[in-house]
Every structure is written in C-alpha cells, then in structure tokens.
Chains A and B, each alone.
Chain A
Amino acid sequence: MIFNLDYTWLSDPTYQAMLGEGIFNTIKLSLICIVCSLVIGWIGVWLQDSSWGWVRRGLQVYIQIFRNTPPLVQMFFLFFVLSEFLPKVNDPATGGSSPLLGSFSSAAIMLSLFSGAFNIEILRSGVNAVPRTMIEAGESLGYSRMQCSIKIVFPLALRVCLPALNSNLINLIKTTTLASGIATPELLYFAGQIYADNFKTLEVMLLIWVVYVLLVGLLVVLSGWLERALKIPGYGT
C-alpha cells in the first residue's frame, strides 16, 4: 500500500499555488508569533519585579492558565470569546457583518499568549542566573537600573536561556498547525482543502509532514548556529 503513492496532482498549478500560499502564511504566522511572544516574555519579566502584589499574582494566574491547559482548547475558547465579545464590522459592499478579528488574528493572538507564558518563565530563569555581583559592579560604575538591565543583564541572560528559548520557539512553529482548526489559511488547512478535492489524503499528509519537518529543521539549524555565534568562552554551558 505504501508504495502505491500517487503524486501526479502536484503538477496542477492550483494545488501548487495553494501549497505555496499555505507555506507563506505558516511562515508569516510563525514570525509574527515569535516576535510577539518575545515581547510578551520581556514585559512579563519586567512586571514580575513589580511592587504591587496583584500585578505579580495576576501574572502568575496568566502563566499557570496558559501552561496547564491544552492549546487546542485555548484556541477554540479564545476564538469564540473574541468573536462574541468584540464589536462586529459591517461590510458596506455586501451588507453582511463579520467579526472584527478574523481567524488569522485570533490564531496569532492565542499563539503569542501561549508561547509568551512559557517565555516569561524561561527569560526569568535567564535573568535570575546572572550573578548579583555583575549588577553590583555595574551600579558601582554608575550605570542606572535601566542601563544595567539593557547593557549587562540582557546579554548574559540571553546566552543562559537561549537553548530553552529556542526549543520553545520551535514548539511554537509546531503549534501553528492547530490554527487550521479555526480555518486559518495555513499549510495544514490548505492540505485539508486539497485532499477534500482529490481524496488523496495519505499522499497529501505525507508531503505536508516532510515539509513541516524541513521547516522546523531549518529553525533548529538556525538556532544552533545562533547559540554557537553568541557563545562567550567560559560562561554558561
């Protein structure tokens, strides 16, 4: 059975265009979510030092909720909540009303929040691993708190937490496949469209599997290169 695979449908330009658009949208969604989740991570680390107890506790609630619930259920929950509670936009051309945030935006928001919760923990562990003596040395040289954070803590923390951060971002790319459940036009969704058209489910799925492994493998190689390029001899693992 496995050697009767029929890939003649790949020569069809419609299917090629669909696959190309799917790959492009997957990469676009991944990049947007990587950037947003890193921003959320840094904001969370900064907020964790807040002197207000309710800010710290609220942040812990957010982190624990997003770490201990399934991402698929989070995706559907956020999609329904966002589409019901946000205002609807009236399209003057057709007269219909659609939700303000479409499936791509909802998926981007959910994935950024999901990955951001993990990033807060990872970046916090990196920041805590910077020796206190470094910060004291900076303060004794006249650096302000902000300058200490940017010039001393951030480079060292980044190198300590880079392996965990990279594995989290790789997990993010794998999690973008869940967005196909809410009809985001990414690769897995278009794969579903293709095999609904020509009924060659196994061939389409095997091809998509290989494409995803290559995409994720590319990010693995890039992150390994980044770790080696940023290495400080004598510091860290």
Chain B
Amino acid sequence: MAHKQTIFTKNGLKIVGYVLTAAAVVLLIHVVHSTTLPVSDLKILIQRFPYLLIRNQEGWTIQGGFFMNILISLASMAISTVLGMLLGIARIAPQRLIRWSAWGLVQFFRNSPWLVVIYAITYLLPYQVSLGFTLVKISPVAKAIMALSLVVSANLAEIVRGAIQSIPAGQWESAQAMGYSRWQILRLVLIPQALQRMIPPWMNWYAILTMGTTLTYIAGVQEGLVCVREISENEPQLAVPLYAILMLLFFAYCYPIARWTRKIEEKFSYLS
C-alpha cells in the first residue's frame, strides 16, 4: 500500500512548519507596526473572517467574498473549456475562412489585457435584456464570467491546437485510410489522445484564471478584494494583515493545484 501522507509525516510537518512561520511573520509585522494590541485585533479578524470568505455575517448564503472568486473561476473554466475546444478545432480547419477568423479571434483575445476586457464587456452589455415578454437581468457576476471566458478560451484554443498537432501524423493517416470522416477522426481518435496532453497546461490556466478573478471588482462583483477593502475602511490598522490573509487564501488554493499539475506532468512525461 502506498505511503499515506498525514501531517505527522516528514513532508506534512514541513508544510505545517511553513504555515506557522508565515502566520508568525504576519503577526510580527503587525505587532511591530500597529498601535493597538494584537489580541483585540485577532478578535476582530476572527469575527470578520466569514465576511471575507462569503460576505455574510449572519447566514451561510454566499453573497461575495473569496468563495465568489472560486465560483466565478469554476463557471468561467467550464465555459472556456467548451469554447476553447471549438476554437482550437477551428484553428486547424481545412477551410481558409474558418482558419483565419479563428486565428484572428485567438490573437485578439490573447493579446488583450484582462482588465480592459472586463471593463469593455461590463459597459458593452446592457444590465437587462428584454427577450420579447420577459426582462432578463445580466448581473455583474454574469458579465465577469463572460469576459473571463472570452480571454481564457482563446488561450485554451492554443493549447488544444498544440495538443492535437503533437499527435503523430500516422494516427490521422491510418484513420483516413479506414474511411473515417474528419469529424469522426477528431472525435474518436485524436481528441481522446490529446486530452491527456492538454491536462497540465489546462490546470495551469485554471490557476491563472483563479488569480484573474480578483480583477472582476471592475464589473461590480463583491469579491474577496472588495471585502478586504470594506473591512479595512472600518479598521484601518488591519489593512496589511487582511491583504496578507487574502494572499494566503489564494496561495492555499493555487499552490496544491500547481503541485498536482507538476505531478501529472511527470506522470505523463513518457508521452513526449
């Protein structure tokens, strides 16, 4: 049976040591700098922590905060994966018109700064749309998800194209020799093999997307950074520790993803 990683193993103790060191450094900076007692500040921090996480001190409904960042990243990644797959297949289409328009779209969205895209989509889309008989409100969260999906799908399209093109040409040719149509080759032969090669860069882009969700404050989303600013307006001495705690939250979410990506890359390195 494989060696089980608990916090009492050597690596587990190392991780606990790093976390405690980080907490001690944050506390030390705060004690050296602030004028108030650290105990009362700790009490305020613990009391406000739910506000930072879900922007809600009374119940359990997620109205914003750090969990909103996670939700936006999950929704946006789901949409981007589908769109990116389609765009990536369009990039290698035999028809010149499809290929060139896909190239143009991918280049345009890969080269745009994310903040500018979120700004533009926020003001481009109306805040409500009338579909004949009903009025559909487009919330800030929806606009943020759409904007992030546009940029990330362009980047995923390049990954899909690279993965499909890295499969040996023999697969294409033997499938064609057996009479498969182009869509059948893609669906049954190439994409199942390409999926394995796509996973490490795909996870890397998920981490980048999660870190890009902090930019959505522009659209009006009440996410983690907005909550940090609101809390530090009332308690200005807590500004630096709160930013540090938000960074630690993102680190705790993204660092395991990075480690896992590296492990998957090494496991699949026999393919390249």
Contacts and interface: CB of A to CB of B under 8 A. Distances in A.
How many A residues touch the partner, as a band?
Answer: 35 or more
Contacts of A216: 111-113
Interface in A169-221: 170, 173-178, 180, 188, 201-202, 205-206, 208-209, 212-213, 216-217, 220
A151 interface: no
Interface in B77-126: 107-108, 111-117, 119-120, 123-124, 126
A71 B111 contact: no
Nearest to A208: B116
B258 A205 contact: no
Main secondary structure of the interface of B (DSSP, over half): helix
B interface, how many residues as a size bin?
35 or more
Contacts, number: 101
A69 B251 contact: yes
A212 B113 contact: yes
A67 B208 CA distance: 9
Interface string B227-253: 000000000000110011011001100
B116 A76 contact: no
B112 A212 contact: yes
Contact of A188 (B18, B116, B212): B116
9 contacts: A68-B207, A69-B211, A69-B251, A70-B247, A77-B243, A177-B113, A205-B119, A209-B120, A213-B111
Interface of B: 18, 33, 107-108, 111-117, 119-120, 123-124, 126, 207, 210-215, 225, 239-240, 243-244, 246-247, 250-251, 254-255, 258
Interface of A: 1-2, 61, 64-65, 67-74, 76-77, 80-81, 84-85, 170, 173-178, 180, 188, 201-202, 205-206, 208-209, 212-213, 216-217, 220
